[in-house]
Amino acid sequence: MPARSTYAAMGTSAILIAAGLLYGLQGADPLPMPETVRLQAATQSYRPAGEFRQGTRVVDAPVETIAAPAMDVMKHHVSEADYAFCVADGACPDVQSRHRGDLPQTHVNHADATAYARWFSDRTGVVWRLPTDAEWVRLAGDRAFDDSFTAEANGSDPSRRWIALYRREVERRGEADLEAHPLGHFGVNDVGVADIAGNVWEWTDSCFQNGAVSADGSLIVARSDYCGVRAVQGKHRGFVIDFVRDARSGGCGAGVPPDYLGFRLVQDLS
């Protein structure tokens, strides 16, 4: 399989022709592995994604301590050229793309990303999948964030939370970056993963959660998943309807919409 530098020099038609020749000549031969970053097993502090209530009031979910198994994560987003091979093989939907190896594949929905994961798993002989929201927070390293509000905004006066949310939304609306940047443009974080919290939000496999919090706010006492909306992660956590490819045109379940939707995959080691 050509290297990313080779993809960058190839035009759209050349990429598709090469893809067709590759699969026609090699059949089911496995593909080479992408560059990855290894995360060792650990414990992790994590605030669940979704909407949680204490009585009738919306409040922050409490932080939980969870097990974080060892995994390998793709250092870079899946590129346009990477995705083009899946399209050429008939396993992925054809989406907006220039088929370049130096650009992340964007304009993909949750089903597109999972189709690629299934195809790539088959072609490499190793199971790849989208990360969960918790796993994304972990691989984000020093670029992860806590989207909780202050104690005052979680208090008995709901208007305090509305005001805090409004102020946050106003600040984020000035951060849009609609230029297509090459892989590596935003650098690597402290664990070696590239382009975290740039202008490509990443699909996770976590469903939007509705939950109830205990009276003292320390425990989640009930929760349910709504998987028609998935958590996406980038400069901030968002929730996007699973069939949406461009959240700026509609379908963002909550908050300021992501600039672009893309993805990277992880591999379990246990």
Beta bridge partners of 79: 104
Q: How is 3-58 classified by DSSP, letter by letter?
A: -HHHHHTS-HHHHHHHHHHHHHHHTTPPPPPPPEEEE--EEEEE---EEEEETTEE
Question: What confidence tier does 168 reach under pLDDT thresholds 50, 70, 90?
Answer: low
Per residue in 222-245, pLDDT (tens digit) is 999 999 999 999 988 999 999 999
110 vs 58, higher pLDDT: 110
Query: Total domain count for the chain?
Result: 1
**What CATH code is carried by the domain that includes residue 256?**
3.90.1580
pLDDT of residue 26: 43
How many residues in the chain?
Answer: 270
Please give the average per-residue pLDDT across 244-249, as a whole number: 89
Rounded Cα distance between 133 and 230, Å, is 9
93-117 CB burial, b ≥16 within 10 A, e <16: eebebebbbbbbbbebbbebbbbbb
Q: Reduce the DSSP state of residue 162 to 3 states and report it.
A: helix
Q: Average model confidence (pLDDT) for the chain?
A: 85
Q: For residue 29, what are the domain limits?
A: 4-268
For residue 167 the two structure tokens come to 């102020």
Q: Which of 26-30, 31-35, 234-238 is least confident? A: 26-30
Residue 180 pLDDT greater than 50, yes or no: yes
Q: At what angle do helices 80-88 and 12-26 cross, to 10 degrees?
A: 50
pLDDT of residue 169: 63
Q: Give, in order, the Cα–Cα distances in Å from 194 to each of 77, 94, 268.
A: 8, 25, 19
Residue 213 pLDDT greater than 80, yes or no: yes
Residue 84 pLDDT greater than 90, yes or no: yes
